[in-house]
Amino acid sequence: MDQIGAFRSFMAIFNARSISKAAHHLNVTQPAVTKQLQQLEARLGKQLFVRVPRGVEPTPAAHDLARRIGRHLEALELVAGSFKLGSSELAGTVTIGGPAEFIGAKVLPSLSTFIDLGLRLRVTLGQPEALKTGLLTSALDLAVFTVKPSDQRISAVPLYLEELVLVAGERWAQRIPREQVSAALLEDVPLLAYAENLPLLRRYWRTVFGTLPQKSAAIIVPDLRALELAAIAGCGVTVLPSYLIAGSVRSGALHVLLEPTDAPSNQLYLARRDTGSLHPRVSAVQDALLRALVK
C-alpha cells in the first residue's frame, strides 16, 4: 500500500466529508480513493468514516488520526515540492494581502512550514479596492477577498466559507432568552458592527430573520477582533466568523445566541492577477492555501 497516498486520500476525505469531492480534489477516480481508504482502515484495524445522506462523517478514530498526521503530511508535501521546484525557485519572497483577521488566523498558520524551506512572506492588510490595486500593479502576488472581484484582469477561486455566528458576552447573554431570539427582541439590544452599512449583521438578519436591522449600530469599528473584545466586555451583540471566536466561545467569554439550521456564511476568495503562469513559489503558496483551507 502507498501509505503516503492513503494518508493524502484520508485527509482529503476528512476535510471534504465526501469521497467524491476528495477524489475531485486529488484529481483521481472515486474507486481509487475508496480502495485506499479501505486499505488504510484494514491496516489500522479501525473504521474511519460512516456514511451519511450527504457524504461521510469521521469517526473518533478519524479525528484522532487527522490530529496526528495532518501537519506532518503537509510538511512532507511541502518538502517534496521544494525538491521538485529546486531550492532556488522556492526560496524568495511572496507578497499576499487580505483582511487582517483572516490572514492572521488562517493564512499564516497554513504557510508556517514554508518558512523552514526558505520562503519569505510579506503581508499587506487592506480593503478590496486596495488589494485589487496591489494585484494589478504586481505589488501583491496573491490576495484574499471577502467578495469575488469583478475585474476580468483578476482570477479568483473559492478559498474558505466562513460561518457567521450571533454572539454576546456574559452580560447580554444572561438578559436574552435563547428560545426567543428574534429580530424584534434584538431591537432593544446594542449592536456592534464593522461598518455603517452593518455588513455581517445585515447578512445574518436577512438569512435567519428574513428582514434587516432597523437601527444603526451602537459601536462601529473596522476590526473584527475589536468587535470580539467589545462583545466580551458587554457592549452589545454582534455577528462574527466562527473561526475567529472559537476560543472565546470555548472559554465561555462569548456565548452563541442562536444556532439556526441554515447558518449564514460568507465565501472568501483567493485571487491573483490573470497573467497566465505563476512563479513556482507563488503557485506553491497558492496550492498550499487551497489544500489547507478549501472545505
The structure's pTM equals 0.69
166 and 155 belong to one structural domain = no
93 and 22 fall within a common domain: no
User: Do 92 and 19 lie in a common domain?
Assistant: no
- CB within 8 A of 282, min separation 6: which ones? 94, 141, 142, 272
226 and 178 both lie in a single domain? yes
Q: What is the pLDDT of residues 34-76, one digit of tens each?
A: 999 999 899 889 999 999 888 899 999 988 888 877 656 655 5
Kindly give the parts of the chain with pLDDT less than 70. 1-3, 70-90, 276-277, 295
| Whether 19 and 37 share a structural domain | yes
Residue type, 53: P
Q: Please choose, from the candidates 243, 105, 92, 236, the residue with its C-alpha nearest in 3D space to the C-alpha of residue 164.
A: 243
Is 236 strand, coil or helix?
coil
Residue 72: predicted pLDDT: 60
Regarding whether 179 and 262 lie in a shared domain, the answer is: yes
Pair type for strands 254-256 and 219-220: unpaired
* pLDDT reported for residue 81: 53
Domain of residue 216 covers 161-266
Q: Residues 119, 254: one domain?
A: no
Whether residue 23 lies inside any domain: the answer is yes
SS3 97: strand
Task: Give yes or no: residues 275 and 222 share one domain.
Answer: no
In a domain, 79, yes or no: no
Pair 287, 110: CB distance under 8 Å: no
Q: Report the alpha-carbon distance of residue 258 to residue 234 in Å, rounded.
A: 17
Whether 271 and 145 share a structural domain: yes
Contacts of 25 (CB under 8 A, 6+ apart): 12, 16, 294
Place of cell 478519524: 62
Query: What is the grid cell recorded at 29?
Result: 477516480
**Cell numbers standing for residue 162:** 466562513
pLDDT score for 83:
45
Cβ neighbours, 10 Å, residue 201: 23
pLDDT of residue 276: 66
Which residues does 137 contact at the CB level (< 8 Å), separation at least 6? none
CB 103 within 8 A of CB 244: no
Task: Determine the Cα–Cα distance for residues 108 and 31; give it in Å rounded to an integer.
Answer: 35
Query: What are the grid coordinates assigned to 61, written together?
Result: 478514530
Q: How many domains is the chain partitioned into structurally?
A: 3
DSSP H or E run through 212: none
Q: What is the pLDDT of residue 21?
A: 86
Which set of grid coordinates corresponds to residue 16? 471534504
